[in-house]
Amino acid sequence: MDHSGGVGTLVLTGDDVAALMGPEDFRQAVGEAFRRHGTGQAAAPALLGFHVEGGGFHIKVGRYEGERGDYFVAKTNANFPANPALRGLPTVQGAIQVFDVRSGAVLAVMDSIHVTTQRTAAATAVAAAHLANPGTRMATIVGCGTQGRAHLRALSASLPLEEVFLWDEDPAASRRMAQDLALEGAPTVRTADDLPDAVRRSDVLVTCTPSKRFVIDPDWVSPGTFVAGVGVDSEDKRELPPGLLAGSRVVVDVLEQCARIGDLHHALDAGAMGCEDVHGELGEVVAGRKPGRTAQAEVFVFDSTGMALQDAAAAVTILERARATGRGLPVRLCGA
């Protein structure tokens, strides 16, 4: 077991986190987190949301066993969509704390922004590996902020994409993202002047916006499409309309959570479907307890609200690698 042993608490910055975990590392960690969730090997995660004027706070907690210990992980994220324009600050800010389960020692405090971005994109990549058609070539990403960029990179690494359309309410954001990512090579990246047409032509659709209105029409989605709704993580946000979910096979990250704060909860409130109509949780699919795609024409919707075990798996890996490599700043939080 891994205890504090007098070492104190390791403080890890965003740069430390990025140096210790690459996109493929996140994909592997997140995939394993979903597998454990699907088999019941990991305790059920928990979520608390707290709204304030202009934004809100989310606290996600989970227990996760690493290679060198058993840990309790808590992530507190602040989400203030107006921050970039009003204050020059990121939309999402926060910190992750890692505790030793046996002693309660605070082992690490680390920046959460890179973890949140990368683990969210990794979850979509894991879902796409099971739910997208093998011949996927074209994708549309709605929302060209930090998550949009991370998703394009994650999906490009896991699917044989040849062309990606970008759309944002702010056309300048989609142009900037297209210009920046064009330098990274394949796939071809271009802005979408006609969003319905781009969606109809795509095998994969990802929405990662802070929208409070539905951004997609079900009629735009072609047979065989894999749709990932990523931006909805509170009751007042909306991306995918109830009709789209009702007409698709729906896979969620955490059923109870999505029924409370995901696009699923809007479909439930509208009476378009019930929880019994959900195909399953992603962990069940990853663990082989529920089938993934079985027919080319199936439309799959992945309702992603963010599972605490994703954060826990990543944070535990980061802590253990930091200790092995000497990365981070050890401090004492208490004077005793």
Over residues 140-199, the pLDDT tens digits come to 999 999 999 999 999 999 999 999 999 999 999 999 999 998 888 779 999 999 999 999
The 10 Å Cβ neighbour count of residue 29 is 26
pLDDT at position 136, please? 95
Number of H helices, E strands in the chain: 12, 15
The CA-based angle 239-145-114, given to 5 degrees, is 110
Asked if 147 contacts 231 with a C-beta cutoff of 8 angstroms, the reply is: yes
Confidence grade of residue 287 (pLDDT, cut at 50, 70, 90): very high
User: Under 8 Å CB-to-CB from 260, ≥6 apart: which residues?
Assistant: 235
Q: Indicate the average pLDDT of the chain.
A: 94
Longest dimension (CA), the chain: 63
Please state the pTM of the whole predicted model: 0.93
Over residues 55-75, the pLDDT tens digits come to 999 999 999 999 999 999 999
Pairing, β 46-52 against β 55-65: antiparallel
Over residues 31-53, the pLDDT tens digits come to 999 999 999 999 888 889 898 99
pLDDT at position 131, please? 98
Asked if 65 contacts 286 with a C-beta cutoff of 8 angstroms, the reply is: no
pLDDT at position 295, please? 95
Q: State whether residue 166 is helix, strand or coil.
A: strand
- Pair of tokens at residue 43: 């305790």
Cα(127)–Cα(197) distance, rounded to whole angstroms?
24
Q: State whether residue 173 is helix, strand or coil.
A: helix
Over residues 221-249, the pLDDT tens digits come to 999 999 999 999 889 999 999 999 999 99
Residue 2 has pLDDT above 50, yes or no: no
Q: Point out which residues pair with 140 in neighbouring strands.
A: 165, 205
Q: Point out which residues pair with 138 in neighbouring strands.
A: 163
pLDDT at position 81, please? 86
For 203-223, b/e burial (b = at least 16 CB within 10 A) is bbbbbbbbbeebbbebebbee
- Least trusted range by pLDDT, from 23-32, 84-93, 272-281: 84-93
Q: What is the mean pLDDT of residues 298-304?
A: 98
Cα(108)–Cα(328) distance, rounded to whole angstroms?
9
30: left (phi over 0), alpha (psi -120 to 50) or beta: alpha
pLDDT at position 335, please? 62
Domain range summary for the chain, segments of one domain joined by +:
9-115+309-331, 122-306
Confidence grade of residue 7 (pLDDT, cut at 50, 70, 90): low
The 10 Å Cβ neighbour count of residue 255 is 18
CATH node for 122-306 = 3.40.50.720
Over residues 77-104, the pLDDT tens digits come to 998 989 988 999 988 899 999 999 999 9
pLDDT at position 255, please? 97
Instruction: Return the half-sphere exposure (C-beta side, CA atoms, 13 A cut-off) of residue 159.
Output: 33
Over residues 98-134, the pLDDT tens digits come to 999 999 999 999 999 999 999 999 999 999 999 999 9
Q: Point out which residues pair with 62 in neighbouring strands.
A: 73
Residue 272 has pLDDT above 70, yes or no: yes
- Pair of tokens at residue 318: 């980061």
Residue 320: its H or E element: helix 308-325
User: Under 8 Å CB-to-CB from 183, ≥6 apart: which residues?
Assistant: none
pLDDT at position 328, please? 96
Q: Does domain 9-115+309-331 have CATH number 3.40.50.300?
A: no
Over residues 250-269, the pLDDT tens digits come to 999 999 999 999 999 999 99
What DSSP letter does each residue of 25-54 carry, written as one string? HHHHHHHHHHHHHHHT-SPPPEEEEEEETT
- Pair of tokens at residue 217: 């029409």
pLDDT at position 199, please? 98
